[in-house]
Amino acid sequence: MSQFQKKVELVRSEVIARDVVRLTLNAPEIAAAALPGQFVMIQIAPGKDPLLRRPFSIHQTSSEGTLQILFKVVGRGTELLAHAKVGEQLSLIGPLGKGFVLGEPGNACLVGGGMGIAPMLFLASRFQQLAKQGSAPKVILGARNRDELAPLIGDFKNLGLEVLAATDDGSLGHHGLVTDVLKKINLSPDFTVYSCGPRPMMAAIHHLCLKENIRCQVSVETVMACGMGACLGCAVPLKAGGYAHACSDGPVFEAGELLWSL
Amino acid sequence: MEPVKVKNDEVDLRVTIGSLELQNPVMTASGTFGYAREFEDFVNLHRLGAVVVKGISLAPRVGNPPPRIVETACGMLNAIGLENVGVDRFISEKMPYLSALGIPVFVNILGDSVEEYSRIAERLAQVEGVAAIEVNISCPNVKKGGVAFGADPKMAAAVTAAVKQSCQVPVIVKLSPNVTDVTLMAKAVQEAGADAVSLINTLIGMAIDLRSRRPRLANIIGGLSGPAIKPVALRMVYQVAQVVTIPIIGIGGITTAEDAMEFMLAGASAVQVGTANFVNPRASEDVVDGIAAYVREQQLGSVRDLIGALRVG
Ligand SMILES: Cc1cc2nc3c(=O)[nH]c(=O)nc-3n(C[C@H](O)[C@H](O)[C@H](O)COP(=O)(O)OP(=O)(O)OC[C@H]3O[C@@H](n4cnc5c(N)ncnc54)[C@H](O)[C@@H]3O)c2cc1C
Ligand SMILES: Cc1cc2nc3c(=O)[nH]c(=O)nc-3n(C[C@H](O)[C@H](O)[C@H](O)COP(=O)(O)O)c2cc1C
Ligand code: FES
């Protein structure tokens, strides 16, 4: 294991869409050690309130040592983080958790919904590094509307990838769910689906993959206090009974190992 | 005149708990430091006074359904449900790493009955590297067991006596704050043979989501920890210090060396760092550094000069 606790500089803050923010941090040690699907714990404020760090997927890393996160403002912690100033020092712990298990790039299908798109960019770029000529992964991305989705699709296109889009309001791509798109493209059983997004979306993808006999890995979210296996607060119910811990056993799991009927 | 410069390692930070001498008064609190290995990238574990590991029961426990934790103002509620690997797997899977650390390992134990407590203690008594047993008589998370022992002086004494009989190592009884008079409990376990008391465990609390009108924890209620509970913990340590002669280990919201030393002034011989480990994994070592710096700056003969040195009146 090599995990780090570092004070890192915020070098860029971009508003991607309404309430969606991307931060670029200068975090060379963490960026160099990071794998797709892993996450960081960020301390929101130096004081005691909010007390706990917040977990964020690693969205992208660069060879220059920067690391990006992409998040939506949903509460006090993310609201404060959205207002962090360039030049400010933020305390990061990472890289944490077990990421995706990478198979053949040509047999990979990445499905991201909403902020679940965040880890997919890192995964896509890693696949592109591994890919041989003509063996690019398939990418399906979904969000509420064009405003939210279009800026994110651009990053995947910059990697040379084709993106199939779906929006809730039909303003971009398919009018409906990413699962509709996944169904339509008829993957063969030698594919692996890599998915992150809202729980109902991942449950639907899991069931589809189960039916089609396709391997499926999902990245799950839970509340977390420590992010490193110490508090046991991040319980994820297992199909076989008992619980796994999202931060140390996951956040990426084989979909078939989890209990979905909750 | 130039003040004499004392190096970090020349500062006398030693304290004693029962028959044990610790290199410094800083330990980690049960359930907040895993089995120590989780923190090896962040903390120089060799520098801690002791590690206290997650509570162990006779059989493994799966714990409560999620959500198990929720953040509150300057603190958090947890209802983990005492999830643990059970004493056998603890001994075979966790102890080899822990005993190789070369620092005292305190094993926190829990049970549903007096017999269960003594059976775990018996198992641990044969294990190399177990320096002390901390008896959790106070966990508020489990529907049976914990609560009853910690809330009744007779039951607390019975568990203490049973554990004492089952092992040779020092026995620390961890007191619950969820009682009307904590001094009654402290006196009862001292009389029953406890070598030390540690306090406080978490305060029972609750959080509600107005929008959904549901409790925020699946277990409905949970244990409050973190900076929010420090004043309550300090008060209880101070009160207990007035009535017992055995060493006290102070716990509750400690995040800095200053916090730790306030507990020592109130009467604690040592401290445990808990929830702070989640926010700053290096918190326990930072507390060691901070205490050393204070002892040096204040030119104290030893950290022991702080114990119970509160100026009242
Ligand atoms: C491994 C992991 C990776 C994550 N990666 C990302 C990411 O890349 N981008 C991103 O935007 N978010 C991500 N999240 C979720 C993110 O951590 C939460 O949105 C954040 O902690 C909320 O903090 P807050 O203080 O703003 O909200 P709080 O005040 O804590 O909560 C505000 C509201 O948001 C809800 N909420 C809290 N946590 C979550 C959650 N995990 N998911 C959905 N709603 C939640 C609460 O129930 C509440 O209603 C990730 C979570 C995990 C566990
Ligand atoms: C997530 C969590 C798990 C805990 N598990 C245990 C446990 O297994 N046994 C125990 O005696 N105390 C347990 N505690 C209580 C702590 O050891 C400590 O007494 C309490 O949290 C107060 O200290 P703090 O405010 O520094 O965290 C737990 C606390 C937390 C937050
Ligand atoms: S968040 Fe603490 S164990 Fe997973």
Which band of pLDDT confidence, cut at 50, 70 and 90, is reported for residue B148?
Answer: low
Sign of the CA dihedral with B251 first, then B255, B260, and B262 last: negative
> Quick one: pLDDT at residue A113?
95
Angle made by CA atoms B90, B92, B93, in degrees to the nearest 5: 65
SS3 assignment, position A66: strand
Cβ-contact B48, B103 below 8 angstroms: yes
> Quick one: pLDDT at residue B147?
56
Name residues whose C-beta falls within 8 Å of residue A36's C-beta, 6 or more positions apart in sequence: A58, A99, A100, A102, A119, A122, A123, A126
Q: What percent of chain B has pLDDT over 70?
A: 94
Closest residue by Cα to atom 36, ligand 1, is: A74
Do the domain assignments include residue B7? no
Find the CATH number of the domain harbouring B32.
3.20.20.70
> Quick one: pLDDT at residue B142?
46
The Cα–Cα gap between B181 and B232 comes to 13
CB-ligand 3 contact for A142 (6 Å cutoff): no
**What kind and span of H or E run contains A45?**
none
pLDDT digits (tens, 9 = 90+) for A99-149: 999 998 989 999 999 999 999 999 999 999 888 777 899 999 999 999 999
Report A:8-37 residues touching B (Cβ under 8 A): none
> Quick one: pLDDT at residue B143?
40
The Cα–Cα gap between B256 and B270 comes to 14
pLDDT digits (tens, 9 = 90+) for B86-143: 999 999 999 999 999 999 999 999 998 888 999 999 999 989 999 999 999 975 434 4
Do the domain assignments include residue B107? yes
Is the pLDDT score of B225 beyond 60?
yes
pLDDT digits (tens, 9 = 90+) for B25-70: 999 999 999 999 999 999 999 999 999 999 999 999 999 999 999 9
A226 → closest Cβ in B63, B68, B278:
B278
Nearest CA among B32, B164, B167, B169 for reference residue B106 = B169
Angle made by CA atoms A75, B224, B229, in degrees to the nearest 5: 105
- Domain membership of residue B298 as a residue range: 15-62+81-205+225-306
- How crowded is residue B211: how many other Cβ atoms within 10 Å of its Cβ? 6
A1 vs B contacts (CB less than 8 Å): 40-41
Contact A225 B78 (CB under 8 A): yes
- Work out the average pLDDT over B187-214: 97
Q: Which ligand minimizes its atom distance to the CA of A97?
A: 1
pLDDT digits (tens, 9 = 90+) for A12-49: 999 999 999 999 999 999 999 999 999 999 999 888 99
| Lowest mean pLDDT across A116-120, B153-157, B258-262 | B153-157
> Quick one: pLDDT at residue A261?
77
Contact B66 A243 (CB under 8 A): yes
Do the domain assignments include residue B144? yes
Mean residue pLDDT of chain B comes to 93
Work out the angle between the directed axes of helices A118-130 and A146-158 (0-180°, nearest 10). Answer: 20
SS3 assignment, position A146: helix
- How crowded is residue A211: how many other Cβ atoms within 10 Å of its Cβ? 9
Is the pLDDT score of B1 beyond 80?
no
Task: Check if the interface score ipTM surpasses 0.90.
Answer: yes
Contact A235 B275 (CB under 8 A): no
Contact A242 B277 (CB under 8 A): no
Is the pLDDT score of B196 beyond 90?
yes
CB-ligand 2 contact for B136 (6 Å cutoff): yes
> Quick one: pLDDT at residue B105?
97
- Work out the average pLDDT over A153-161: 93
Q: What percent of chain A has pLDDT over 90?
A: 92
Is the pLDDT score of B7 beyond 90?
no
List Cα–Cα distances, B291 to A258, B255, B296, in angstroms.
46, 12, 9
Q: How many folded domains does chain B comprise?
A: 1
Distance A98 CA to ligand 1 centre (A): 19
- Work out the average pLDDT over B284-297: 96
- Work out the average pLDDT over A178-191: 91
Distance A147 CA to ligand 3 centre (A): 34
> Quick one: pLDDT at residue B140?
42
The one catalytic residue in B103, B139, B173, B273 is B139
Residue B214, classified by CB atoms within 10 Å of its CB into exposed (0-12), middle (13-18) or buried (19+), is exposed
Do the domain assignments include residue B287? yes
The Cα–Cα gap between B209 and B215 comes to 6
By DSSP bridging, strand B196-199 and strand B171-174 are parallel
A50 → closest Cβ in B71, B277, B282:
B71
Closest residue by Cα to atom 4, ligand 2, is: B31
Do the domain assignments include residue B74? no
> Quick one: pLDDT at residue B145?
46
> Quick one: pLDDT at residue B9?
57
Instruction: Please list, residue by residue across A71-83, b when 16 or more beta carbons sit within 10 angstroms of its beta carbon and e when fewer do.
Output: bbbeeebbeebbe
Residue of chain A whose Cα is closest to the Cα of B277: A226
- Domains annotated for chain A, with CATH where assigned, are 4-96 (2.40.30.10), 105-219 (3.40.50.80)
**Is residue B225 less than 8 Å (CB to CB) from chain A?**
no
pLDDT digits (tens, 9 = 90+) for A69-105: 999 999 999 999 999 999 999 999 999 999 999 998 9
**What kind and span of H or E run contains B75?**
strand B75-78
Q: Count interface pairs A-B at CB distance under 8 A.
A: 98
Active site includes B139? yes
Work out the angle between the directed axes of helices B153-166 and B182-191 (0-180°, nearest 10). Answer: 30
- Work out the average pLDDT over B291-304: 95
> pTM of the full predicted structure?
0.95
B100: phi then psi, degrees, rounded to nearest 5: -75, -15
Which band of pLDDT confidence, cut at 50, 70 and 90, is reported for residue A242?
Answer: very high
Q: Residue B86, by phi and psi: left (phi above 0), alpha (psi -120 to 50) or beta?
A: left
Is the pLDDT score of A1 beyond 60?
no
Do the domain assignments include residue B6? no
**Is residue A64 less than 8 Å (CB to CB) from chain B?**
no
Do the domain assignments include residue B217? no
Residue B53 distance to chain A (closest CA, Å): 10
Contact A51 B78 (CB under 8 A): no
Mean residue pLDDT of chain A comes to 94
Closest residue by Cα to atom 21, ligand 2, is: B225
Closest residue by Cα to atom 6, ligand 1, is: A56
> Helix-strand-coil percent breakdown of chain A, rounded to 5?
25, 35, 40
The Cα–Cα gap between B134 and B55 comes to 9
- Work out the average pLDDT over B265-272: 98
Contact B39 A228 (CB under 8 A): yes
Cβ-contact B107, B123 below 8 angstroms: no
Do the domain assignments include residue B68? no
